[in-house]
Amino acid sequence: MKTQSKNRIQAIALTLALSLGAPTASAEESVGRSPWGPQDEIGRLNLMTAASQAAVLSRLAGGKAYDLSVDYHIGMPSWQAAGDPHYRIWMTHTPHGNVVADPLGLGEAMNEHVSYTGAAISMYTHMGTHIDALSHFGLDGRIWNGFEAKKHLGDRGWTAAGAEKIPPIIARGILVDVAAAKGVDMLPDGYRVTREDLVAALQRQRVDIEEGDVVLIRTGRMQRYADADAYMANPPGMGMAAARFLVEERGAMVVGADNLSFEAFPSEVEGNYVPLHTYLLAQTGTPIIELANLEELARDGVYEFAFIGGSLKLRGSDAAPLRPIAIPLGEN
């Protein structure tokens, strides 16, 4: 059986299993087992094949490439509620400092002639444009495919489903501009995107989601990125029915949005404060992209594109910075 056909059958089996027995109450929640085998660590990224990559690259229209990432800078929006660190950058070498300290023993004349600058950074893995690895959230001590914290998590991070396992992503990308479909520049604070919102936006754009797509939802929140407090305060996000629509009904491979946490709060599910994260990452093996800058795509009405992105191979990490680009597609 060809790999692409096998992958499609496996994905259909997973979707049927989810649709027939998808848990809604916290007592029934459990991690998903991969249809790609007991050693699978990348979940729905298995839908990406050499053939699917070649198909999308063959349709490149050329012209403008859109950078979907944000700048990293001191004071940038970041998750602080659980005590995680802010972004920090500091100089380890400056041209004048090297003249004074001469760290390499080169002498004053050489340091005056050759200007040397170096820097170091410290940051939480879930800040800026990034992709969540499947190890980010789990249920009852287990993550996607049954990997267990007590067996697969050590002092150097996860030995299974870490961010280093995420392959370079080349796939068809779809922008779903929910804000525009509702006739606003930005969804209201705390707005929970519904399945109906997604359907309406796709109909307005005259595009549909295909199995294996990277689907990015625009709420318009990125317009507040320059003001960290405003960006973080009660943002809009996805609801459970919308997430299920993307994965179970349309077959999305990766989902993402322009907000920090993808989902809306407070939780819709009793006993689980982040039900979309556990549903996507732990139960269905669907990676999540957060803080995607979708404003230029929306402004130019680019709803279908080649999504090309590589994340940092941070061994054992639960997420990694991502620099995605979008290149418009021509006709089939």
Total-model pTM: 0.91
What percent of the chain lies above the pLDDT cut of 70? Answer: 92
The closest of 323, 283, 320, 309 to 29, measured between CA atoms, is 283
* 322, β-bridge pairs: 311
Measure the CA dihedral 47/5/175/321, to 10°.
Answer: 10
Q: What is the pLDDT of residues 96-119, one digit of tens each?
A: 999 999 999 999 999 999 999 999
Q: In a 3-state reduction of DSSP, which class is residue 202?
A: helix
Specify whether the CB–CB gap between 256 and 217 falls below 8 A: yes
Per-residue pLDDT of the chain (332 residues; tens, 9 = 90+): 444 444 443 443 443 333 333 333 343 689 999 999 999 999 999 999 999 999 999 999 988 999 999 999 999 999 888 999 999 999 999 999 999 999 999 999 999 999 999 999 999 999 999 999 999 999 999 999 999 999 999 999 999 999 999 999 999 999 999 999 999 999 999 999 999 999 999 999 999 999 999 999 999 999 999 999 999 999 999 999 999 999 999 999 999 999 999 999 999 999 999 999 999 999 999 999 999 999 999 999 999 999 999 999 999 999 999 999 999 999 87
Place of tokens 């089996």: 13
Cα radius of gyration (the chain): 21
pLDDT of residue 218: 98
Q: What is the pLDDT of residues 249-273, one digit of tens each?
A: 999 999 999 999 999 999 999 999 9
Other Cβ atoms less than 10 A from the Cβ of 177: the count is: 21
The closest of 260, 327, 269, 238 to 26, measured between CA atoms, is 269
Structural tokens at position 166? 């995420």
Place of tokens 């893995």: 125
pLDDT of residue 29: 85
Structural tokens at position 124? 């939480």
DSSP 8-state secondary structure symbol assigned to residue 249: I
Q: Give burial (CB, 10 Å; 0-12/13-18/19+) of 22.
A: middle
